[in-house]
Amino acid sequence: MQILTVAIRVIQQVIKDKRTLLFLLLAPVFVLGLLYVIMGSSSDEPNIGIIDLERSLQESLEAEAHIIEFPSEEEALQAMKTQDIDAYFYMEANTPYIEIEGGDITKKSPVMQAIQSSLQTFQKERAEEMKEDFEVMQDELAIVLKNMQQQTGQSIPIDFSEVDLLMEEPEINYLYLDENADLFDQVAPALMGFFIFLFVFLIAGISFLRERTSGTLERTLATPLKRSSIVFGYFLGFFLFVTIQTVIIQIMIVDILHVDRLGSYWLLLFMNIIVATVALSLGLLLSTFARTEFQLLQFIPVAVITQFFFSGIFDLSNAPGWVMFISKIMPLSYATDALQNVMIRGYDFSDIANDFIVLIGFTIVFILLNMLVLKRQRAA
Amino acid sequence: MIDVRNVKQTYGKKVILQDVTFSMNKGEIVGLLGPSGSGKTTLIKALIGMSRPTEGEIRVLGIKQPSLKPMKQIGYMAQSDALYEELTARANLAYFGRLYGLGGKNLKKRIQESLSFVNLDSETKKAVQHYSGGMKRRLSLAISLIHNPQLIFLDEPTVGIDPALKRVFWNEFQRLRDQGKSFLVSTHVMDEAERCDRLLIVSDGRLIDAGTPEALKQTYGTIEEAFLKAGENLCKS
Domain range summary for chain A, segments of one domain joined by +: 2-40+182-376, 47-152
Q: How far apart are CA A190 and CA A256, in angstroms?
A: 17
Answer whether B86 sits within 8 Å of A12, measured CB to CB. Answer: yes
A4-13, A165-174, B106-115: least confidently modelled range: A165-174
Interface test with A, best of B51, B98, B155 (most A CBs within 10 A): B98
Q: Which residue range forms the structural domain that includes residue B153?
A: 2-236
Tell me, what's the ipTM? 0.89
CATH number of A47-152: 3.40.190
| B151-155 sheet: strands from edge to edge | B74-77, B151-155, B182-187, B29-33, B198-203, B206-211
- Asked if residue B149 has pLDDT above 80, the reply is yes
All residues of chain B having their beta carbon less than 8 Å from the beta carbon of residue A377 are: 50
Concatenated DSSP letters of B177-219? HHTT-EEEEEE--HHHHHTSSEEEEEETTEEEEEE-HHHHHHH
How much is the pLDDT for A166?
65
Cβ-nearest to B100 among A6, A12, A223: A223
Classify burial at B127, counting beta carbons within 10 Å of its beta carbon; exposed 0-12, middle 13-18, buried 19 or more: middle
How much is the pLDDT for A187?
84
User: Closest Cα partner for B77 from B227, B183, B166?
Assistant: B183
Min Cα distance B53 → chain A (Å) is 10
- Asked if residue B236 has pLDDT above 60, the reply is no
- Residues B156-171: what's their mean pLDDT? 86
Q: How far is CA A135 from CA A11, A13, A128, A164, in A?
A: 83, 85, 10, 10
User: Closest Cα partner for A374 from A229, A201, A224?
Assistant: A229
- Peptide bond preceding B66 in cis form (omega within 30 of 0): yes
- Residues A281-301: what's their mean pLDDT? 89
Which helix (DSSP H) or strand (DSSP E) does residue A380 occupy? none
Q: What is the dihedral of CA A271, A273, A278, A284, to 10 degrees?
A: 180
The string of pLDDT tens digits covering residues B25-73 is 999 999 999 888 889 999 999 999 898 999 999 999 999 988 888 999 9
Domain CATH for B146: 3.40.50.300
Interface test with B, best of A8, A219, A234, A376 (most B CBs within 10 A): A219
How much is the pLDDT for A171?
85
- Residues B123-149: what's their mean pLDDT? 90
User: Closest Cα partner for B185 from B43, B53, B58, B70?
Assistant: B43
Q: How far is CA A364 from CA A14, A278, A282, in A?
A: 25, 9, 10
Min Cα distance A353 → chain B (Å) is 38
Residue of A nearest to B96 (CA): A220
Min Cα distance B46 → chain A (Å) is 9
SS3 A198: helix
Would you say B65 and B82 are in contact if contact means Cβ atoms under 8 Å apart? no
Region for residue A177 given its phi and psi (left: phi exceeds 0; alpha: psi -120 to 50; beta: otherwise): left
How much is the pLDDT for A323?
83
The string of pLDDT tens digits covering residues A200-253 is 888 888 888 988 888 899 999 999 998 889 889 988 998 888 888 888 888 888
How much is the pLDDT for B141?
92
Answer whether A224 sits within 8 Å of B68, measured CB to CB. Answer: yes
Give this prediction's pTM. Answer: 0.80
Counting the structural domains of chain B, the total is 1
